[in-house]
Each structure stands twice: as structure tokens, then as C-alpha cells.
Amino acid sequence: MTCGVLPAVDKYLCSFQRWLPGHLARIADPGHDKTIKLFATWRVLPRLRARAERSHITPSVRRFAAEQIKYATAFLQWLGKRNSTPASCGQNDIDAWWAGTPSTAAPACEPSSAGQCRAAVVDAPSLPTLHPAGSSPGAGRASRFAPTTCLRS
């Protein structure tokens, strides 16, 4: 890295990326796991990477990112207890959750965080679904995603 051959690596960005899979593994609901993964992928990680490109990430920035993920997880669990989903969640739900959130959570848990978590599911770009060869999502599509043979020596 010192010679410029390898790119510089931010240790707190790496720390967050090591922490995230463990947090995701502790989420019992598979739908919530997917939602938090989308939230981290489309909202939290891009901000951390942009910050790392501008300057080093500090421990407090890394902690803030983890708190956003934790509060998004808590928000989804809270929605589940109310028999609601992020797709059906409205402003009244977000306001009710915000009203019940401890004031110590205010920095990481700004009112827009709940909306961002909801947006991660409702508004996020759809991820491609891989179908094994022979399945029927459409003949052309199935062949496009069929496993290919790499060059063999």
C-alpha cells in the first residue's frame, strides 16, 4: 500500500464490513435479514465508502453506521410486532416508532432513517434473480444465467 501498488484500505470500513454479516446472522426473520442487507448495501455502505475516499473513517463514524443498522433492525422488529411490513408502513407508523425511541438514539435514529429503511425495500433497485438452467423464467433468460464453463487447461 505504501508503494501505491495496492489501494489504501480504511480499517474502520473493513471493521464495519466484518461486523455486518454477524449482525445479519442474528436476525431471525429472513425477510428482515434481506431488508437490512439492502439497507446496508444501498444506503449505509455507499456513504461509508464515499467518506473513506475523502478522508479516513473515524471510530465514531463507524459506530454511527452500525447504530443505523441496529435501529433499522429494531424498526423492522417493531413493525413485525404491529403486524406491518415496510411496504405497508406509512408516516403514522414512522411517527409512532419515532415517538417511542429513546432520545439517546436521536443521532443514529433520525426520523428519516425509518423512512430510508422502508425505502430500501420499496424503492431499492430490484436485484436480479438467478435461475438454474432448465427453469422457466423464459428460455432466453434461463440460458443467460446458466452456469458457464470457465477456461480449462
| Per-residue pLDDT at 118 | 56
Question: Within 10 A of 20 (CB to CB), how many other CB atoms are there?
Answer: 19
Find the range with the poorest average confidence among 53-57, 66-70, 109-113: 109-113
**CA distance linking residue 47 with residue 12, whole number of Å:** 13
How much of the chain, in percent, has pLDDT values that exceed 90?
36
24, 33 Cβ separation under 8 angstroms? yes
The contacts of residue 9 (CB under 8 Å, 6+ apart) are 1
Half-sphere exposure (Cβ direction) of 49: Cα atoms closer than 13 Å: 8
Q: Specify the pLDDT at position 143.
A: 41
Q: How confident is the model at residue 102 (pLDDT cuts 50, 70, 90)?
A: low
Do 10 and 49 contact (CB within 8 A), yes or no? no
DSSP string, 57-112: PPHHHHHHHHHHHHHHHHHHHHHHHTT--TTT--HHHHHHHHHHS-GGGTTTT-HH
DSSP state of 105: G
Quick: pLDDT tens for 13-44. 999 999 999 999 999 999 899 999 999 999 99
pLDDT, tens digit (0-9, with 9 covering 90-100), for 116-140: 555 554 454 444 344 444 544 444 4
